[in-house]
Amino acid sequence: MKHRLHFFAFLTLVILFHTTTWGQEPISNEPLPKVHIIATGGTIAGTSTDIGYDAGKVSIETILQAVPELTHYAELDYEQFCNIGSQDMSESIWLPLAKRVNQVLESGKYDAVLITHGTDTMEETAFFLNLTIHSPKPVILVGAMRPSDAVDADGPANLLKAVQTIVKPDAVGKDVMCCLGGKVYEAGAAFKNDTHSLDPIAETSVDWYLPHNANTGFFVDNLKELPEVGIVYGYGSSSTVAFEALVNAGYKGIVFAGVGDGNLNQATLDLAAKAVKSGVMIVRSSRITYGGVYTEGGEVDDEKLGFIASGSLNPQKSRILLMLALTATRDIDVIRSYFRQGVFTQVVELPGVSNARQLGGYIIGDKKVRMDFTFAKRKPFQCLLLFRKAVPLFGIRMIRTSFGVTESRHRSHLNDIITLDSLF
């Protein structure tokens, strides 16, 4: 009798093993989410060489064949957008890529977008897309630290993790995400902090969050190029040659990866102040990863000199935000609000607003509008705003409200009804 019981127990396990994918939930009869994959290359598409590997050599079709488990979670289709190492990623690719992602998500055919990408500039592409995609549907970038033909390639596991992430309901409305080392990070906080580790992404604290919908972010689908913005790195006894070169080349903005709290030596500071008067936008960021750069409590008087403090953004993300800001405005106060506000607007409802209309990054109207605000700690608040003037949907500049700055440099609670008479 005991032997018969053991046999039936064993038979049951065998049946379960063959009917359920190991380590996964049983496959549902519900229709699978539809995910569109856009391939751009990177190490995940690389092949080994005698000295290392070449990025961007393998097609997305070949990559996907190595991960048949993906079809348990989503219905997939794909396109080969480009096939490069991400060190060659540029605005000439970012702009059409953002346009393509918006087209895919607006088509109504897909529930999410996955982008294969190299790790070198993944955080930059993710941040750019985070500011230019106008859909709450999930978007994730996924890469690898080992080429596709490595015996222990990490790309397949990262692809699987990425698909598993974006098909979940709680992925809707999040920042554009990055997936590496089997972990998922949001674009605003993610940065690459290791040149060789299989888990090369870390996070910093961020001051703000941009909710995704049709009215938020920057509208770039019709742009062919972005204003030129460069980065100058600070160091002991640093020369002014790099800064002068960018000014003479006609750059519209310069980001300083300054020492300490975004500091510049005196020679560079003097040249920067002069450049501001000629129309160049100057952003102070820091070569230090954590802490951010703020006007309050620092050594540089940004208001007096006409500079912009980067807040929690590192130099490369500051450059992206400044480039995009310059497509919308030259008003330094508005651009400062993009960097420091810590709050972005999302229209939830427009009751009785018949004359409201969207104009670029602005909405014009004179009725009460309910808005959602999300702060540094991502606690949602609501307030009523009375529109009296054009208000940028990307970031509202608050004046004479209870919206203050605490000693920790994070924003405090907004608990008033605000009238916008004092804006602009």
The catalytic residue positions are 43
Contacts 24+ apart (CB under 8 A), 192-197: 192/119, 192/120, 192/122, 192/123, 193/289, 196/145, 197/145
Please name which of 117, 289, 316 lies closest in space to residue 193, comparing C-alpha atoms.
289
Amino acid at 131: L
Give strand pairing partners of 142: 116, 179
- Amino acid occupying residue 123: E
State the Cα–Cα distance between residues 157 and 180, nearest whole angstrom: 9
70 touches 163 (CB < 8 A): yes
Phi-psi label, residue 173: left if phi above 0, alpha if psi -120 to 50, beta otherwise: left
Structure tokens at 278: 């000629």
Q: Tokens in use for 339?
A: 């960097």
The SS3 of residue 125 is helix
Contact between 223 and 95 under an 8 Å Cβ cutoff? The reply is yes
- Burial degree of 335 (CB within 10 A; 0-12, 13-18, 19+): buried
Residue keyed to tokens 């989503």? 74
* Per-residue CA distances from 172 to 137, 140, 167, 168 (Å): 5, 11, 9, 8
